[in-house]
Structure 1
Amino acid sequence: MIIVCALNVIKLTCIGYTWFLFRKGAKRTDQTSLESMEGDHSLVTIGDAVASFLKRADKYTQDMPLVSKRDFAKGRWPNCGGDDEVAKRYRELTKAQRWGKAPTIRRWLFTVLSGSAAFGFVVYIVVHAYIILQVYQLPTNIKSLFTGFGVPQPYALTIANQFTTLGQQTQFWFTIVVANLAQLGVSAMYFLVSGLIAVMAIADEWSHFIVERKTLRLSSPHGIQRSSYMLLLPFKLSLPLMGGMSILHWLISQSVFVIATDAYVYAGTQATETLTAVTKNDAYMVGFSFPGGFLAMIMGIGLLVWTALLGLVNKLDGKSIGHTGRKLHMPLASSCSAAISAACHRPEDDNAAHLLPVIWGRVPNTDLWCFTSAKEVEHTLREG
């Protein structure tokens, strides 16, 4: 616990120092000044990236209307494209899009495979406990299985013999590491799942700009610009994720834990104390609990299923096109900076767009599909 607390103090100190440097730099910036356009490099939110490209257009993505992150896949850059190419991209954007399309297939696979590996570890603990129960002919009904939650039962001393050849100090530290490996796995899963959800949340916020005019959400807002989320994600996503992971960490701690055993010998009837401690025979083992492991398995599955349902059920916003019943969606940029840049080539006279409420669409009488503060935008291809 002392080591954990010390590491958390170091982590909080780093977070505090980073926040101090960030706020110190933010106070010196003015997004309306030319110096800010050259020196403000805060890119924390999707709004930061959009504001940066609106202030200073990227020449490398110019004349690339309606391109998405898929067009930049595998390091290839799309052609500027003629009318036929733009029309093809436009048709693609009229297809229904869900949150799950925002993360790459590789990210989905890596998260699912990592979750499956962690799931397999917990299943091993649960099955191993059940087999031992049967070997010792102990009751395996529901009531008996869930007796002694978080408490080491006599039958639940696993991989104890493997450590008997180690010295006491080595044995102590080794069992601590083994017992907490599952906690490390859960922490890694948190980063994977939170990253997956963050990409989907970015896509959701991005898609709103086609149907609603609003200001950008920045890490250092100015004027009427919106501030970033306190937990970097909307509460409806961050609170269930953090709450679920906290419960999972606790359940894991009630599933696998360190057991210290004290050794005694019979001192005889004539001795003052019937038992005499033999400290050289004290040992440390890794214990497990069936109910803790089973509940941890259910909670882990629940979190993964919840994440998958977020991607499968939720749809990205779109703008209805006339009376066709179809909707036009924004090009899916996710965290691809090139795709974001391509959507930010505003009209030349709209130089304060990043400070004002903006909407994405085609500027009337032009071929510009971009974020703009113009009063009106269109969402159909330009005729002719």
Structure 2
Amino acid sequence: MDSASQHETHELLPISREAPSKSVTEVNLEEEKPKLNALHRWRSGWKFMLSLASVACVLVLLFNTGLLLWAVARDRVKEERGILFEGDCDYVGRVNTGLHLLINVFSTILLGASNYGMQCLCAPTRKDVDRVHQRGGWVNVGVPSIKNLGHVSGRRSLLWLCLLVSSVPLHLLYNSTVFYTTSAYGYDIFVGYDSPEGKNLALLDADGHDYTFRRLWSKAQNQTLDDLSASECYAAYDTTYQTKYGGVIMLSDDVEPATRYDWATYEQVYKPFNGKTPHPWMCTEGASCAEDAAKSNWAVGGYRVHSCLSERVPQLCKLQYSLPLTITVIAANLIKAVVLCYVSLTKGDDAPLLTTGDAVASFLHKPDRFSVGRCLLSTKDVRASYYSMEKHLYKRLNYQGNRTRWYSAVQVRDWLSVILFWSIAIGMCIFLIIYAEANDGKAIWDAKFGKTSSVDSSTLIKGDSWPTSLIANTIIANVPQLIFSLIYFLTNSLLTSMTLAAEWSLYAVLRRGLRVSWNPKAAQRQSYFLSLPYRYAVPLMASSATLHWLISQSIFLVGVDAYDPDWTRDERLDVMTCGYTPVAIVSAISVGGAMLLSIVALALRRLDSAMVVAGSCSLAIAAACHPKYDPNLQHEAQQVNIRPPEEEEEEEDMAYLPVKWGAVAVDGDVGHCTFTSEEVEMPEAEKVYQ
């Protein structure tokens, strides 16, 4: 026998009383008993979930495409923008809220479907696992893993990359494909002794700007001007963008004669440039103006004002869409739909190992020969020194018997990544608050969530070099969403790893059925969606949705259509920038901080048993699945590869039964721990196991 044959025989020796079982399709167990009809098998498997995901993507694609075609046919596109609705601001605002709620629902559906597809594509098959183990490596099972892409087929890696790339436009653009713009008005300010109501226009002395004054005079005759006190007038015009009132006549006892109406100045729509402040006409002494108005000491242009007559302006709000952004989102939607449909409808590779239960079931059916004799192998051991078969095979270890904490299931590198990105996100929030305080801290805490009408100049991101295009501001406004999506991905992966370790640890305490992703039989249980238990998944998704909404209210697109005092459009003064709301920022920090603290609190919990932590490491999982191995018989003769048919059948059924991890009965001083459906006992501390 040549050296290669001797080496292969030596590798098989420890699997005593065991010969390789018949060819099994790992997790795909439809040939095993009990037999179920094909429809039931399909509905209980990962392919069914993938089919639902692809159908959802197609439905969203049809809606997005249909809405775009309807919008283009309804109204012409001007400067790459179209109008969906126009008119009363309250109505347009409600439509905007409803449509953005729908967009967020669709975005969640698309990203959830995509994430599930990505996890299926990067999940290894048993063939992948065997190939990697033979090379002395390992892969992740049960968690999203970029590491796995180097070990799965090139086709699956390419499809995974397509899903990843198509997610970027959804994070950056989808929420801003439809956007709300409001109309802001410039206005003229006149000062007079009393109302022009009942006075002959020809006898009045109005200094210039005749068109605006004639309009105000006409409304005074119709008694449609609002009569406001000094404090009410100050509050009405103390806004960065005037959307409610237009021209105004300030009433003062200092004006003589009563037929005289002086034009004081005019206010144009505010452009957020450095060094420029809105409505400078109202006061020259800053913070004291509001007090003066309340005490009837408010002076405008040298006249003390006791009240004012103000005209209401028509509210012209629009719900617009960006054609290039919408087409980009539809293209991303199409890519996801095509990829998910392709994966769900094609046979492809063997079924992937999506959960640790899948892996345990596979290794119980067909034990992994590259992890034999190392039953106490942990994920920490594997990561500490890249696994070498020659170094670690048949290595005996002492059972420590110490219950570790949840955080031990996660690499230090992963913890550092989560903390780093959370720190970046919180740091950006704090920077915005400091920026606002440095500009003007008096009003930043009064701004309402994400409302253009309540935007204060101090909460606008301004500067002479700030971009004014829709696409640039859309990307800037949504970068925090992309950052948080990355944080969510890392946090979800971290939490999944810890909950996997917690469930793994329970197998040393309770006898339970395996949680599998394909056709559960007998005692086996259906897997969770994406491996995360619902008691953690639901709060995580709820807090994530809340945080996404708070982020959208923290920094948002500000679009203003400018009108001059004559109510004609002045596109030169249109505004497209970003605004932010400090109250929403602080709320986002609070929710994000609570999420992070909750994760840390969970990480400090102790596992239910002292079972070695395998985490998502395929090699450590495989090492715990050798139910027929006896370390005291590893040097016996070649009969180790012979097994009675009834014993083969019994082992194949083992994965369907409730299993438990522990020390099994062996003949000799060296113990052995494994998953099995047979009787086990808790390993003894400091005893040697192999």
Q: Quick one: distance in 2 between partners of 1:60 and 1:254?
A: 53
Q: What letter corresponds to residue 122 of structure 1 in structure 2? A: C
Deviation at 1:290, TM superposition (A): 1.2
Which range is displaced more, 363-372 or 105-114?
363-372
Instruction: Decide whether the 8 Å contact of 2:460 with 2:577 is kept in 1.
Output: yes
Matches within 5 A, 1:144-183: 145-151=445-451, 152-163=455-466, 171-183=469-481
Task: Report whether the alignment pairs 1:241 with 2:540.
Answer: yes
Task: Flag the 1:43–1:231 CA change in 2: closer, same or farther, 3 A.
Answer: closer
Structure 1 segments unaligned to the other structure (5+ residues): 26-38, 267-273, 319-328
Partner residue, 2:362: 52
Deviation at 1:227, TM superposition (A): 0.7
Q: Quick one: distance in 1 between partners of 2:376 and 2:478?
A: 49
Deviation at 1:10, TM superposition (A): 4.0
Task: Flag the 1:193–1:95 CA change in 2: closer, same or farther, 3 A.
Answer: same
Task: Report whether the alignment pairs 1:20 with 2:341.
Answer: no
Partner residue, 1:342: 623
Instruction: Decide whether the 8 Å contact of 2:553 with 2:584 is kept in 1.
Output: yes
Q: Which of 208, 215, 223 is 2:513 aligned to?
A: 215
Q: SS in structure 2 opposite 1:286?
A: strand
Task: Report whether the alignment pairs 1:302 with 2:594.
Answer: yes
Give the TM-score normalised by the residue count of structure 1. 0.79
Task: Report whether the alignment pairs 1:119 with 2:426.
Answer: yes
Task: Report whether the alignment pairs 1:359 with 2:660.
Answer: yes
Deviation at 1:153, TM superposition (A): 2.2
Task: Flag the 1:294–1:69 CA change in 2: closer, same or farther, 3 A.
Answer: same
CA offset digits 1:16-74 (Å, max 9, x no partner): 5377348x78xxxxxxxxxxxxx853200010111111111111111112111122124
Q: Quick one: distance in 2 between partners of 1:362 and 1:106?
A: 33
Partner residue, 1:321: none
Q: What letter corresponds to residue 491 of structure 2 in structure 1? A: V
Q: Percent identity?
A: 31
Instruction: Decide whether the 8 Å contact of 2:550 with 2:587 is kept in 1.
Output: yes
Task: Flag the 1:146–1:100 CA change in 2: closer, same or farther, 3 A.
Answer: farther
Structure 2 segments unaligned to the other structure (5+ residues): 1-176, 179-325, 629-642
Q: Quick one: distance in 1 between partners of 2:331 and 2:433?
A: 31
Partner residue, 1:192: 490
Q: Quick one: distance in 1 between partners of 2:336 and 2:394?
A: 50
Larger radius of gyration: 2
Partner residue, 1:325: none
Q: SS in structure 1 opposite 2:430?
A: helix
CA offset digits 1:274-320 (Å, max 9, x no partner): 243222442311111111111111111111111111101x21111xx
Number of residue pairs the alignment of both structures matches: 333
Higher RCO (CA 8 Å, separation ≥ 6 residues): 1
Partner residue, 1:262: 561
Q: Quick one: distance in 1 between partners of 2:502 and 2:486?
A: 25
Deviation at 1:378, TM superposition (A): 4.8
RMSD of aligned residue pairs (Cα, Å): 2.6
Task: Flag the 1:19–1:206 CA change in 2: closer, same or farther, 3 A.
Answer: farther
Q: Quick one: distance in 2 between partners of 1:365 and 1:190?
A: 46
Q: SS in structure 2 opposite 1:333?
A: coil
Partner residue, 1:79: 392
Task: Flag the 1:238–1:263 CA change in 2: closer, same or farther, 3 A.
Answer: same
Which range is displaced more, 147-156 or 119-128?
147-156
Deviation at 1:236, TM superposition (A): 1.2
Task: Flag the 1:237–1:116 CA change in 2: closer, same or farther, 3 A.
Answer: same
Deviation at 1:264, TM superposition (A): 3.6
Deviation at 1:128, TM superposition (A): 1.6
Deviation at 1:80, TM superposition (A): 4.1
Instruction: Decide whether the 8 Å contact of 2:447 with 2:456 is kept in 1.
Output: no
Q: Quick one: distance in 1 between partners of 2:625 and 2:485?
A: 37
Which range is displaced more, 344-353 or 298-307?
344-353
Instruction: Decide whether the 8 Å contact of 2:443 with 2:458 is kept in 1.
Output: no
